[in-house]
Structure 1
Amino acid sequence: MSDAVRDLLRTLVLSLLLLLTIGGPAMAADDLAALRAKGQVTIAVKADYPPWGFRDPQGRLIGMEIDLAQDIARRIGVPAQIVAVQSANRLEVLRQNQADIVIATMGDNASRRRIIGMVEPHYYASGINLLAREELRIARWEDLRGMPVCAKQGAYFNKSVARRYDLDLRIFKETRNAKLALRDHRCVGFLFDDSAIAADLLQPEWQGYTMPLPTLDEIGWAIGIRQQALGGDLDRLLSDAVAEWHREGLLLALEAKWGIKQTGFLVEMNQLWRARDANGDYICRRGADGSFPMACRPTRVEAQQAAPRQPGALEPWLKSAGLNLTILYDPYDRAQFLRGLANTILLALGCIVLSVAIGITGAWLLGVGFPPVRWLATAYVEFFRYTPPLVQLYFFFFGIGAMLPLVTAANGVETPLMGGFAWAVIALGIYAGASNTVIFRAGIDAVPADIRDSAVALGYSPLQAYVRIILPLALRNCLAALNANLVNIVKATGLASAIAVPELLYVTNQIWPEEGNTVEMMNVLLVIFFLLVSVLVYGMHRLEKRLRIPGQGG
């Protein structure tokens, strides 16, 4: 077994052990006594969702939901530790005991209720709509079939709407990047909450954009707690708090404070919770069983409408074994995962070929006799080796890509000349090519000078000598270092998810936030990358043995 394979096995074992400890010690609390004994309550909020949660110029978290979080802490009687989360990880912070409460624009749906507890009544509600350019004249959801549509990672509606209308989703981790992609014509619209889109359309930078479609599936936003806290005193306190927010008009006042267009849901709930019966008592009050009437807490739980799926024999067997591997029995998740695997392989191959070609060319340019050429080659190597690959990826995709001309696609929509996949190959290939240039140059310098002199004596031109004699010998000298760099290229393909290239990490990040199968999906991802890298290492090892110079090495 080669040293590289042995190192990979060691890394895999250590990573698996780390995943087994994901739960860690319980640092959060699920009842009021424990929270008060702890001396603070940790509340997770959004930091990328203005005006509900965002950072001010000084970096402080502010917004409507931060105001609500502070009110919750006041009711509990302890200070609030406010932590920022994103759509993709807001469920996990509860499961991993990193927060006690989540109030983060979280739509209430059936799949999330299987993972965490949802407090009723809901404190807000929104539906699904599209932010799009006015000139596209999109009139029906069916008009989007097969179209590229930008979306935010972790949004509850991504999967259901994509399945219902056959959308080609381009999912970004950050809302800001999704909006940048929309401005760059990389998608026809941004799939998002209608209330957030309405707030955006009030801003001058979104002039020329519209929300053209009827709102889909209005659902309630719920405060999240751990499932074991449901029915306890923390659940009751939060439920009473939401009831008072509706009855006293606090939520309507906060809408006005933060410049949010007044919603019919809050008006309706305010009237409902203020209503009294003939005896002057509130109609919406706890009954003998300790719960509010159903009429006072309309569920508005999103059912994730899609084509019905009949569970096969594999699904109950896996679930009985404690394995939530939807990629094996859910047709949509399986198709997305296989697409991601294929794209990862193609992306890795493209980056390897480009980086090797750049390395061979760059190594030759570093040795030419004309100084300006050497200086340019050296500048390329230094710049791309010493800047982060993710920054380079953003530079090419959002910077250079935005300057290229638009072309009209087959569906009649204008799109950029180059898509995310091509930019990922270029950016990662150029980044790795800088290191390959140094590697090949070291291999060339290790070729004995008398061999190079002999090539000249035989009448070879400098280019002929480089291609036919020096490069084959240099390749033998640098295979070990080249192997290590190519392994890094394969592992770096996950960076392409940042620009919505649907590779393995991208599709995995779409599955686990909604299915709650973080450990299973991370282990699957780990094993697949281990296998991909192992195939590469094995192939390079075979090539090294085949090219070994007789009398050198073991």
Structure 2
Amino acid sequence: MKTIVSIGVFVLAIVFCATTASRADTLQDIVTKRKLVAGIKTDYPPWGMRDKDGQIVGLEIDLVRDFARRIGQNVGEAIEVELVPVVASNRMQFLQQGRIDVMIATMNDLPERRKVVGSVYPDYYSSGVAVFARKDAAINDFESLGGKPICGVQGTWYNRDWGAMKGAEMVIFPGAPEVEKALLDGRCVGWLYDDSAFVARQVTEPAKWKDFKIATPVVGDVPWAAAVRLEDLQAPIGKLLADTIIDWHRSGMIADLEKKWGIPPTKWVAMMHEACNTGAPQCATTRPPTN
């Protein structure tokens, strides 16, 4: 924690001393307004959801609040958090448009997305792709999707690669709540999505999903990136968020949050905890070159 605080103080000192010809620095804006505006999911329990009182809660919301706490701790001021719900189809646009300062919203870290928003490295979580299907749907691998109605969420990259290209009749909905209803109503026999979302549902709502199973192998494991605007990636806000993610892994905070929210421990989080405590390349703030 001392290391993160000292880095943050240094970063903020740069911010306050710098002048810009165009717009103010995002981190300076946050401190000036005493508010961090974050894009989060409300349709992805338990990473982001509404509780029985309508409040937005979840693992990613805990991460956002911790980031705001660290910013405030560095400047001796409380930083308010404004949570802005996003979905897969608009989360990057919200960043581009300046409607949010940061985005922590289950976004797979893909090369094409790094051209649109500033995907912060290292990543903070990871998931694969699978089909959650009725047990009697005769689905046991991706080749068995041919001709079957499969639900998907708008804006997810694997609707084409692991759905349509496998012959599935993709039925696309704006978000997870609409997919859930369609699946339970029988309008689809399966749901193509992140395996992490299915595991969480099986753990937290076993009775509701007793007739369903993760029917295909889990493929395409892709880490999740927090994001800032593209021009902010190497700016103070991007660098401070990268340092914070390293500390989340190093301290075991993300593993603790998995336990808090009833998520089975994942090998990827355990690997990152070890990597960040041994200085492995997976836990650097500089993305390794890709082939």
Q: Deviations over 1:48-84 (max 9, x none)?
A: 1110011112111100000000011112212211111
1:5-42: per-residue Cα shift (whole Å, max 9, x none)?
xxxxxxxxxxxxxxxxxxxxxxx965322321232110
Taking the aligned partners of 1:255 and 1:39, their CA distance within structure 2 comes to 29
Counting only pairs closer than 5 Å after superposition, residues 105-184 of structure 1 correspond to structure 2 as 105-184=106-185
Aligned equivalents of 1:286, 1:200: Cα separation in 2: 30
- Contact persistence 2:122–2:287 (CA under 8 A): no
Question: How far does residue 139 in structure 1 lie from its aligned partner after superposition?
Answer: 1.6
TM-score normalised by the chain length of structure 1: 0.45
User: Aligned match of 1:49 in 44, 48, 57?
Assistant: 44
Letter in 1 for 2:71: I
CA distance in 2, matches of 1:219, 1:205: 28
Structural mapping, 1:62-461, within 5 Å: 62-77=57-72, 78-202=79-203, 203=205, 204-275=207-278, 282-283=279-280, 291-292=285-286, 294=288
Alpha-carbon deviations, 1:470-498, whole Å to 9, x = none? xxxxxxxxxxxxxxxxxxxxxxxxxxxxx
What is the percentage of aligned positions where both structures have the same residue? 37
CA deviation after TM superposition for structure 1 residue 166, in Å: 2.6
Is 1:31 aligned to residue 26 of structure 2?
yes
Query: Is the partner of 1:154 in helix, strand or coil?
Result: coil
CA contact (8 A) 2:146 2:167 kept: yes
Following superposition, the deviation at residue 110 of structure 1 comes to: 2.3
Q: CA 1:97 to 1:140, structure 2 compared with 1: closer, same or farther past 3 Å?
A: same
Distance in 2 of aligned mates of 1:208 and 1:52: 23
AA of the residue aligned to 1:212: A
Separation in 2 of the partners of 1:56 and 1:272? 34
How far apart in 2 are the matches of 1:96 and 1:61? 23
* Higher mean displacement: 75-84 or 206-215: 75-84
Q: Aligned residue pairs: how many?
A: 261
State the structure with more CA Rg. Answer: 1
In the alignment, which residue of structure 1 is the partner of 2:20? none
* Partner SS for 1:50: coil
1:273 CA displacement: 1.1
What is the letter of the counterpart of residue 271 of structure 2?
E
Q: How far does the alpha carbon of each residue in 1:427-478 deviate from its partner, in whole angstroms, 9 at most, with x for none?
A: xxxxxxxxxxxxxxxxxxxxxxxxxxxxxxxxxxxxxxxxxxxxxxxxxxxx
Could you say what the CA RMSD is over the residues aligned between the two structures, in angstroms?
A: 2.2
Judging changes above 3 Å, is the alpha-carbon distance between structure 1 residues 156 and 285 closer, same or farther for their aligned structure 2 residues?
closer
Whole-angstrom distance in 1 between the partners of 2:229 and 2:161: 25
The alpha-carbon deviation at position 196 of structure 1 amounts to: 0.7
1:225-279 CA-to-partner distances (Å, cap 9, x unmatched) read 111111111111000111011110000000000001111110111111112xxxx
Task: For residue 129 of structure 2, give the secondary structure of its aligned residue in structure 1.
Answer: strand
Structure with bigger helix share is 1
- Gaps (5+ residues) in structure 1? 1-27, 276-281, 300-554
In the alignment, structure 2 segments of 5+ residues that lack a partner are 1-22, 73-78
Indicate the residue corresponding to 1:461 in structure 2. Answer: none
Alignment partner, residue 404 of structure 1 = none
Question: Which structure dedicates a bigger proportion of its chain to strand?
Answer: 2
* In structure 2, distance between residues paired with 1:71 and 1:159: 36
| Aligned-partner Cα distance in 2 for 1:29–1:165 | 48
